[in-house]
Amino acid sequence: MKTKTFWLPQLLAIVCILTVGSVSMVFADAHEMAEEMEMEEEAGVSGWFRTDTDSLGTQIWFGGSYPMGSFSIDSDIYVVGNFAEFDLGIGISAVESDSLSLSFIPMVGIGFEYANDEGDPTPNGPNSLIAPQLFTYLTAGSIYFESWIQLFFNTPFDYDDDLFYTRDFLLYSITDNIAIGPQIEVGAILAGLEEETETGLDSLVIGGRINMNYGENNTLGLFVGYETQLDEDSEDTGLTGRMTFVRTW
């Protein structure tokens, strides 16, 4: 009887030690798993949604970036009316520091027409090769610069003229939530679908832009410009622009 009484406290002590050790291991494993999940989330896929309204109508964009070590695989879709475009490229971070960030995204894209308008002889299907494309993003303190350079090869599909397009703007942050600056957009015809098509500069829009942050990861952009390449007999005022909303995650 004394022997049983002597071993009972020891048995209880062993059970307590094992229980405490198991609980500690569970908490340690849970903490480690949480850290791993957080690291995976930080290194996971980032995405963005964008909508533009301008002379082309209202356009919808979705895009994402897949980290692959020192670079990323970037893709997006662009939709306006019956037309849709898919782009694929490589994100290259040339400089990344607390005070300076510079990145490039070269891309290629293919456009599809899913339904032809009434009376349009062009069949639905692939109708545009958008390549090469180059997007440049620079942040240096309060300065932000963005550049788009795109080539559109449409004549091989008997769809439209071959075009060059660039959009460039430079913004200065006057507050944490508001940035303003100049913007220029240039369009040119490289080759015409018809023999009598005149090639060369087709559009030159100069204006100003303001970007406003609305909460975390939300940006509203307003661009107002003037088209300098109007025909003499055109009744347009020349005023043009774009309203943009961008959401990132």
Task: Note whether 159 and 109 are same-domain residues.
Answer: yes
Instruction: Tell me which H or E stretch contains 34.
Output: helix 2-42
SS3 for 55? coil
How far apart, in whole angstroms, are the C-alpha atoms of residue 94 and residue 147? 15
Nearest to 81 by CA among 111, 102, 109, 101: 111
Claim to verify: residue 27 and residue 111 sit in the same structural domain: no
Q: Which two tokens stand for residue 106?
A: 């070269």
For the chain, what is the domain count?
2
Please indicate, yes or no, whether residues 159 and 53 belong to a single structural domain of this protein.
Answer: yes
- How high is the pLDDT of residue 146? 98
Question: Within this chain, do residues 25 and 120 fall inside the same structural domain, yes or no?
Answer: no
Per-residue confidence (pLDDT) for residue 39, from 0 to 100: 52
- Least Cα distance to 210 among 239, 238, 244 occurs for 244
Do 120 and 202 belong together in one domain?
yes
Q: Around Cβ 156, how many Cβ atoms within 10 Å?
A: 11
Q: Which residues contact 163 (CB under 8 A, 6 or more apart)?
A: 151, 152, 154, 187, 188, 189, 190, 202
Neighbours of 80 (CB within 10 A): 14
User: How far is C-alpha 37 from the chain's CA centre?
Assistant: 25
Predicted TM-score (pTM) of this structure:
0.81
Together in a domain, 244 and 151: yes
Alpha-carbon gap, residue 224 to 7, rounded angstroms: 87
Expressed as residue numbers, the domain containing 239 is 45-248
Tell me, yes or no, whether 236 and 164 share the same domain: yes
Whole-angstrom CA distances from 163 to 14, 56, 195, 229 are: 80, 15, 15, 16
**Does residue 192 share a domain with residue 115?**
yes
Residue 173 sits in the same domain as residue 56: yes
Model pLDDT for residues 142-155, shown as the tens digit of each residue: 999 999 999 999 99
Helix (H) or strand (E) holding 7: helix 2-42
DSSP assigned state of 174: S
Rounded (10°) CA dihedral 28, 32, 34, 39: 160
pLDDT digits (tens, 9 = 90+) for 7-62: 444 544 544 444 445 444 444 454 555 555 455 445 689 999 999 999 999 999 99
Q: Are residues 29 and 139 in the same domain?
A: no
Tell me the pLDDT tens digit for each residue of 99-146. Answer: 999 999 999 999 999 987 666 666 789 999 999 999 999 999 999 999
CATH number of domain containing 218: 2.40.160.40
Residues 127 and 68 in one domain: yes
d(CA 173, CA 212): 10
Same domain flag for 37 and 142? no
Q: Is residue 207's pLDDT more than 60?
A: yes
Q: Using omega within 30 degrees of 0 as the cis cutoff, is the peptide bond preceding 123 cis? A: no
